[in-house]
Every structure is written in C-alpha cells, then in structure tokens.
Amino acid sequence: MNDNPRQLAFIILREVERRGVYADIALDENLRKADLSAVNRRLTTELVYGCVRRRRSLDALIDQFAQKKSHQQPPDLRIILHLGFYQLYYLSQIPASAAVNTSVELAKTNGLSGLSGFVNGILREYLRQQEKQTQNRPILRLEDENLIQTLGNLYSFPDWILEYWLNQLGLEETEKLCQWFNQSPTIDLRINALKTSRDTVETELKLAGINVTPIPHLSQALRLSGSIGEIQNLPGYRQGWWSIQDSSAQWVSHILDPQPGEIIIDACAAPGGKTTHIAELMQDTGTILAFDRAKSRLKKVQQNQERLQLKSITTQLADIRELSEYNSCADRVLLDAPCSGLGTLHRRADARWRHTQQNVQELSELQTELLEKTATWVKPGGYLVYATCTIHPLENETIIQSFLSHNLNWEIDLPEIPLQDVLTSEGYLKVWPHRQNMDGFFIVKLKRIS
C-alpha cells in the first residue's frame, strides 16, 4: 500500500502515459489499494487530473525553463516536472518549498537520483523568475504570434479544438469556455420523486455538512459543492433517494416527456442515468426497453435500477444496428448517441487529448447510422429525442439537417421549456457550458408525422 500522495500520483500518471490507461480508471484502481487519508486522497486526485488536464501548459513551462524541450526529456522525469510545476503554478495552497522538495524526492525514489539536482534547479529557477514578476505568478511566455498556439499553451487544449471554438464563438468567449473547462466539476443530483422530495434531501445533506443549492428550472435537481467525501456515504444514496446526473443531462428526459403507460426505448442506455429518469417521470409504469452493446456498462443500468427500486425497465444486450423486431412499436425513443464528449471536458481530464478531428468524423458517421435505425422504431405520431454531450456541429446540427432532408415524414417538435436562451431558431437546444454553467449538450426533439 502507498501512503505518499505524490508518489501515488506519479505511479498513476506513469500508467496513463505508458499504457494509455484512462486517468479516472487508473486513479480509482490505485486509490482503492492505497492507505491515504481523505486529505491526501484529494491531493492525489487533484495532482492526477490537474497534470493530465494541464499537460500542454506544463510542457510549455518545461520548454521555457529547460534547455531540452519537454518531449526530449526522459518520460519519468517529464512526469515529475509536471507534478512540480503543477503545484507551483496552479496550487497556491501548497508551500513552494514543499513542491520543490517533494519533486526532488520523487526523482530520487524513482531511479532518477542523478537528475534530482536538475529537478531542484529548474523549479528553483522558476521561483526566482516568479519573484521578479509584478503579478502573483509568472505568465507563460506567450510571444508567439500564432493565436491558437498561444491559447493552447495558456489553457492547455489541442489546436483543432481551439480553432473550432474560435470560429464558433470568437476570442473572448473561447477564453471563457477554456477557463470553464479547466475548473473542477461540480456534482448535480437528480431527486427520485417516487421516493422523497427535494426539500427532504436538501435538509438531510445540509445536516451532514454538505454545501447544497437548488438548480433553477429543474424541480428535482440539487448542486453540491465543496468537500463531499464518498458518494455512497451521503444521506439517501442507499435508499435510492437520488442519482448523480448533471443538470443539462436531466433536461433530456424532460424534453422526451414520457407519459405513464407508454412504450419507451432508450437505445444507448448505459450507465442508466436517463433510463432511470424516464422511469421516474413515468411513475414507473409502462415499458422501458434499455439497450446497450457493452455487457459491463449494461450491468450499471441494472445496478442503478435496483438501487432506485424501479420495475418498468427491461435491459437487453444488443448492437441496436442489428435489431429488426422493433419497427413502429415505440411511443418515444431516446438516442443518447455515442459522441466525442466535447461538452464535458472538465469531467474527463484526458478527453481533450484522446479525440481528433478524424475521430469526430467517424463518430458522426456512426451517429447518422444510429439515428436512421432508431427512427424506424417510432410509431406514427411518436417522438424521438436525439442528444449528445458534445458541442461540435458535425455530431449535432449536421446530423439532424441531413436526416430531415431525406426523411420528409419527420419534423422538429419545439419543446416547451423555460430555457429559451439555449433554444436556437431551428429548434435545437444547444447548451454552452460557460453561458449556462452546466455541461455542454445538444438536444433536439423530432416527431414522426403520420
């Protein structure tokens, strides 16, 4: 077992770099085996997610203060420098001496004793330069005339994402969006109205010392902030009083507007947040068919269903492209399509580095195929909601425009919601995180005309 939060962060980051492991998976696996206090667990989490999220900015600092560029450094040394610079540049609560000394110790502990002096020297040179600054911390050297390169180094995003945002939003809003995505995510709860009330949950959480606020326009939503500890230990978790679901994702099921007794299909259901929300909105009556192609993920739907004690959901392991028996059988269909997740980059620290323009194009082709298939399941007069947690038009507007152009028996159905500022002239709901302070999302409700 490991009781050193920085050493554990180093081990996790090395797994991410060497083996391509997802940061959240590597973190969870290692934290389970570690013997850390709650404070040190939070520090390890902050260091891992922070170093992954800010990788480009940290590389730029190495480039600025070392003779060799970051990509020329030994891989383990680069990770140690990332940890040192992250603490010095982003974590003001950690004393500079602690950041430097623990980074030097990491070098000695992990077979880099000969380079421990280099680690000490580069971090102390940073501190000397910091003292010369009039601001609280030195700004990354940004003389490059290339705006995208400058923004990339400052906010730590790949060029292709920044180019897209600049074209969509302009410079001022792009910077706001970058800043928003570099924040630690909040946690939103969706109250299970079949079990309890929002007021009851809010009261119990406050009694447990949790900072909690109601979310406007969503009658069953609460937002948690600050330190909350283990989710499973919060009041009401085991009783099925609530689920974790971002407020923008909660809008999806409200827009689907399922009615008691109907037949609903959730085409890509895992891990079950929207599936269970649909059941709650239907008073747990009717039939919900929940499909997913991954057995492990479908199991999460079943676990959530059991915890919330919902009876109307039937799960089925399937690639929906291969299903042929559901033509015109559903009153409503939800296609929460697989996507790049570019609206949730704050929640998935490494997502910004895993996706490419080519990847987005491939996802767009899959989304088109899934939409064409699931549309055949809807009864005449029924509805289909297409939703993604991305803000890229290739995965959203382009998909819907193409679908409607050759499916003339479908039209956009304008939902009645209080969020008029996210409703576009075409009838799409597009949530920009920095404007609405929730995950980025795209939602459109389609109606099959008789």
Show which residues are catalytic: 389
Bridge partners for 441 per DSSP: 431
Among 270, 214, 263, which Cα is nearest to 242's? Answer: 214
Query: Residue 161: is it exposed, middle or buried by C-beta count within 10 angstroms (0-12/13-18/19+)?
Result: buried
Q: What angle do CA 230, 14, 35 make, to 5 degrees?
A: 35
Could you say which DSSP state residue 441 is in? E
Q: What angle do CA 367, 332, 428 make, to 5 degrees?
A: 55
Could you say which DSSP state residue 380 is in? E
Among 313, 445, 315, 295, which Cα is nearest to 385's? Answer: 445
Among 251, 59, 265, which Cα is nearest to 156's? Answer: 59
Provide the greatest CA pair distance for the chain: 76
- Is there a contact between 44 and 67 (Cβ–Cβ < 8 Å)? no
- Is there a contact between 5 and 75 (Cβ–Cβ < 8 Å)? no
Backbone angles phi, psi at 212, to 5 degrees: -145, 140
Query: Residue 260: is it exposed, middle or buried by C-beta count within 10 angstroms (0-12/13-18/19+)?
Result: exposed
- Is there a contact between 160 and 357 (Cβ–Cβ < 8 Å)? yes
- Give the sign of the dihedral formed by CA 366, CA 165, CA 439, CA 350: positive
> What count of other Cβ atoms lies within 10 Å of the Cβ of residue 188?
22
Bridge partners for 417 per DSSP: none
Could you say which DSSP state residue 122 is in? H
Say whether 386 sits in a helix, a strand or coil.
strand
Strands 287-292 and 263-266: parallel
- Is there a contact between 411 and 446 (Cβ–Cβ < 8 Å)? yes
CB burial readout 423-439, b (16+ within 10 A) else e? eeeeebbbbbbbbbebb
What six digits make up the tokens of 371? 């939409």
